[in-house]
Structure 1
Amino acid sequence: KAAQALGYYQPQIDSDVKGGKTPRLVLNIDPGEPVHLRNVTVRVEGPAASLKSFRVPKSAALKPGAVLNHGHYEDAKRLIQNQASRYGFFSGYFTRQKLAVDPRAGVADIELVYNSGPRYSLGKVSFEGDTPFDEDLLQRMVPFKAGAPYDSELIAELNQALQSSGYFEGVRVDAAPTAAKDNVIPVDVKLDTRKPRTMGLGLGYSTDVGPRVKANWTRHWVNPQGHSYGWETEVSAPRQNVGLFYDIPL
């Protein structure tokens, strides 16, 4: 089976037992000639076929004349399915998926035809959780408009924007294809607001300034518009620095 997975369907195996105090089994394996690909069809049909970013497997390992490798065949199927999941072709399926091997002739044929079906789109983003922020502030962090074609990267960007805002200690973005209606996927976001204030204190030493103390205090949100302010200071023998800031999200 292991040899067949790499395209060797007619190996010759000879065994011999070597005598002595510790008998040894010696196997001599002649893999023989590998099976080569003859006819290869890998095609995507439907709306995904016109999407330039949808990559169809075109590896040299899947060209006629290449040595058959079952792993490359499975990789091609997996790549198509992963692309379909990323770009929202959740109704797609293989209309043909065949690997036919003729060991005597030493050839194999591959046929992979995928019907993508329609591309799903993203619906309006709704936010849940006890947050003090205006809906307008939250919607400005959404990197897409309602009705945009589905792309899992957009969901990742939304999650990153919320996480990096500094307002939340917990973010969960749900965009489940099973919840779609008329191929539109609702996007539900659950938010846990962080504590409004944090304070930090640090001690250090360096050869140029000697002992030093650092401290900071931040009010992460002041009002529903997401304004924030704070201060930070560093004190050492040669210098004393104090900084203030007030941030307004744009």
Structure 2
Amino acid sequence: MARLKKLGILSGLLLGAAVATPPAAGAFELFGFRLWGSEPEEDRIEIIDPLPYTATLRVSGTEDGGLQKRMETASALWSDRETPASGNAGLISKARGDYRRLLATLYAEGYYGPYISIRINGVEAADLTLAAELPQGVPVAIEIQPGPPFLFGTTRITNAPPFQPEGRDGVEPPRSVGFETGESARSGTITSASALAVEQWRQLSYAKAREADREVIADHPTGRLDVDVTIDPGRKARYGTVTVEGGSRVDREFVAYMANIHEGAPYDPDDLNDAEDRLSSLGVFRSIRIVEEENILGDGSLPMTIVVEDRRRRTIGFGGTYSTIDGLGVQAYWMHRNLFGKAERLRFDAGIEGLLLTSDPADYNYNLGVTFTKPGV
């Protein structure tokens, strides 16, 4: 509700602020951020059997200058190097998880023949047992050789949907995200291409389309990655019955009416997005979900459930402005949502401007307004 006038020299703005009570002597928090003081004891996480360690991470054999930083971000050992591990088991477990995290990041960058070594006290982490004796301040050395970057060889989508020609409205074809021969073979590109194919089938009313299989073959001598993604489009669907659930005082028939999902019409995911937008624009719901039935029924219909939760029915708001020309202004409003059960809104606004410029109330500017909104008319 608060607004700031730009006329004159703005001397300040007074608005409500939530200030947390200091949890401990000498500590102060504002908007949930600690500005000074020690952390309260109950907020501290106690590490069982703390084991400090030092970490080094080195990427070699590549001209990709940014790969070092991306590997550091992916490695939990490196990111948490200033925090002791929870004993031998915690350190070894974190190291073994790093193999997977680092490998996934390399795949995402198009490297499919990497060498990854994580040594704890000189021994490969994969070879350590939980009974290993590790000293305090144990050294951890991470070495990565990504190998050459791969390019896509054969790229195929089995059961691919008919895509719109490029430049037209609709789902872009997989080549728009780089899924074609000769492009960088990033794993994320494969996932994006699969998602585009599934979404296009859904646009064609195949509501339960999904990726059924993915075959990826890395040819190391040629540095090529052959990919075959199989899509299962499922059956074509049309809208079935639409029901409304959830903790809401809004008339359920009215909710279904405003969603405008017509039983018997061909399924279209854009309809569901539009329905959520329409219901959100009513301003009475704090959450809206449209849930599709798990399976298409035998007659080809797909029942839909709209789950809504109400916002608070009544709201009071206050605000203030100040400038050297217009003086101090204060505003307030009261609003009722869902007045008669069909998302009607009644709002009263009041404001005074010109305070502090004069002591005569006759010179103040007074504003008063009332608004009634009835949607769906």
- Shorter-chain TM range is 0.5 to 0.7
List aligned pairs for 1:60-139, cutoff 5 A.
61-66=178-183, 68-81=185-198, 88-94=206-212, 97-104=214-221, 107-128=224-245, 129=247, 131=249, 133=251, 135=253, 137-139=254-256
Q: Hey, what's the Cα distance between the residues in 2 that align with 1:105 and 1:191?
A: 55
After superposition, the Cα gap between the structure-2 partners of 1:236 and 1:116, relative to the gap in structure 1 and judged at 3 Å, is same
2:202, 2:209 within 8 Å by CA — same for their partners in 1? no
Change (3 A) 1:225 1:204: same
RMSD: 4.1
Matches of 1:132 and 1:36, distance apart in 2: 55
Q: Report the 3-state secondary structure (helix = DSSP H, G, I; strand = E; otherwise coil) of the residue aligned with 1:140.
A: helix
Q: Is the 8 A contact 1:162 1:171 kept in 2?
A: no
Matched, 1:41 2:156: yes
Contact kept, 8 Å, 1:97 with 1:113, in 2: the verdict is yes
Tell me if structure 1 keeps the 8 A contact 2:110–2:151: no
Percentage identity across paired residues of the two chains: 19
Q: Distance in 2 between matches of 1:187 and 1:30?
A: 48
CA distance in 1, matches of 2:147, 2:250: 70
Query: Is the CA contact (8 Å cut-off) linking 2:282 and 2:343 kept in structure 1?
Result: no
1:188 is displaced (CA, Å) by 1.8
Answer whether contact 2:291 2:307 (CA < 8 A) is retained.
Answer: no
Paired residues for 1:1-250 under 5 Å = 2=106, 6=110, 37-45=152-160, 48-49=161-162, 53-59=170-176, 61-66=178-183, 68-81=185-198, 88-94=206-212, 97-104=214-221, 107-128=224-245, 129=247, 131=249, 133=251, 135=253, 137-168=254-285, 170-178=286-294, 180-182=296-298, 183-237=300-354, 238-249=364-375, 250=377
| Structure 1 length-normalised TM | 0.67
| SS of alignment partner, residue 331 of structure 2 | strand
What residue ranges of structure 1 are gaps of 5+ in the alignment? 12-24
Which one-letter code corresponds to 1:175 in the other structure? V
Q: Which amino acid aligns with 1:6?
A: G
Q: Structure 1: how far apart are the matches of 2:351 and 2:152? A: 69
Pair 1:185–1:205, CA change in 2 (3 A)? same
Compute the displacement of 1:155 (Å): 2.9
CA contact (8 A) 1:42 1:56 kept: no
CA distance in structure 2 between the aligned counterparts of 1:4 and 1:221, rounded to whole angstroms: 49
| Aligned match of 2:65 | none
Instruction: Give 1:55 shift.
Output: 3.7
The unaligned stretches of length 5 or more in structure 2 are 1-102, 116-140, 355-363
TM-score (norm 2): 0.48
**What is the distance in 2 between the residues matched to 1:195 and 1:105?**
63
What's the CA shift for 1:179? Answer: 5.0
The residue aligned with 1:16 is none
Change (3 A) 1:246 1:125: same
Match of 1:217, SS state, is: strand
| 8 A contact 2:111–2:147 mirrored in 1 | no
Q: How many Å separate the matches in 1 of 2:107 and 2:312?
A: 60
Q: The residue matched to 1:146 in structure 2 has which SS?
A: coil
Question: For residues 239 and 113 of structure 1, do their structure 2 counterparts lie closer, same or farther at Cα, with a shift above 3 Å needed?
Answer: same
- The answer (yes or no) to whether the contact 1:173–1:187 under 8 Å persists in 2 is no
CA change 1:79–1:234 in 2 (3 A) is same
Q: Is the 8 A contact 1:173 1:190 kept in 2?
A: yes
Q: 1:4 to 1:200 in 2, by over 3 A?
A: closer
Distance 2:181 2:307 in 1: 51
Check the 8 A contact 2:317/2:332 in 1, yes or no: yes
Q: Is 2:345–2:373's contact at 8 Å kept on the other side of the alignment?
A: yes
